[in-house]
Structure 1
Amino acid sequence: MASSSSNESTHTGEIRLWREDDWWIATDVETGVTTQGESRADALDNLDEAVALHKGEIGHEPTEEELRELGIDPAANATGEDEPPDVLK
């Protein structure tokens, strides 16, 4: 089992870390969150951030102003009653 030195408190459970071609892949077993990086450290740092986002510890919902700055019209960007694609479930 591996852990990231950047934020030890984020991960208290099992982490799986392996290499595929030129990338390191890291998965937090408890949440199922998976990330990658060009090095072991990058993959683990990315995992720390992704798990924190997943748990709502960092980040925020974009405001309408932030969406407009990115060229997204909030009024035309609603899922309504549609189910999200399988990849987002």
Structure 2
Amino acid sequence: MATVSAPDGVEFVEEDDGRVTARHLESGVASFGDTEAEALRQLADALESHRGEGDSIDDPEAYLREQGIDVEIGEAGPPPWE
């Protein structure tokens, strides 16, 4: 993996599979894409969620099903960041 220069506060890592990971240095939040631009767009969305600025989801299980994600939320409830 090779790290390349990025906007202030963000680092890019070129992964072995060709994708690019963008990581916000202050928070540690990261996301990826096929290009640096795509990784930054995904990182922006991830940061909004991390900061509680994203859209709330009333029914997480239904939302995941709509997205085609087969996940069961266990008895312990949703993740602690919700």
TM-score normalised by length of structure 2: 0.63
Matches within 5 A, 1:41-80: 41-63=37-59, 67=61, 70=65, 77-79=74-76
Gaps of 5+ in 1: 4-12, 71-75
Go from structure 1 to structure 2 and tell me whether the alpha carbon gap of 1:18 and 1:67 turns closer, same or farther (over 3 Å shift): closer
Which structure exhibits the higher relative contact order, with contacts defined as CA atoms closer than 8 Å and separated by 6 or more residues?
Answer: 1
Letter in 2 for 1:17: F
RMSD: 3.2
Q: Could you give the per-residue CA deviations for residues 20-72 of structure 1, whole angstroms, max 9, x where no partner exists?
A: 12100110111111111011111000000000110011121433xx64574xx
Identity of aligned residues (%): 27
Runs of 4+ in 1 over 4 A off after TM superposition: none
Bigger radius of gyration among the two: 1
Matching residue within 15, 18, 32 for 2:10: 15
Q: Distance in 2 between matches of 1:30 and 1:19?
A: 20
Q: TM-score normalized by structure 1?
A: 0.59
Give the equivalent residue in structure 1 for 2:23.
27
Q: Which runs of 5+ in 2 are unaligned?
A: 66-72
- Figure out how many residues of one structure are paired with residues of the other and give that number: 69
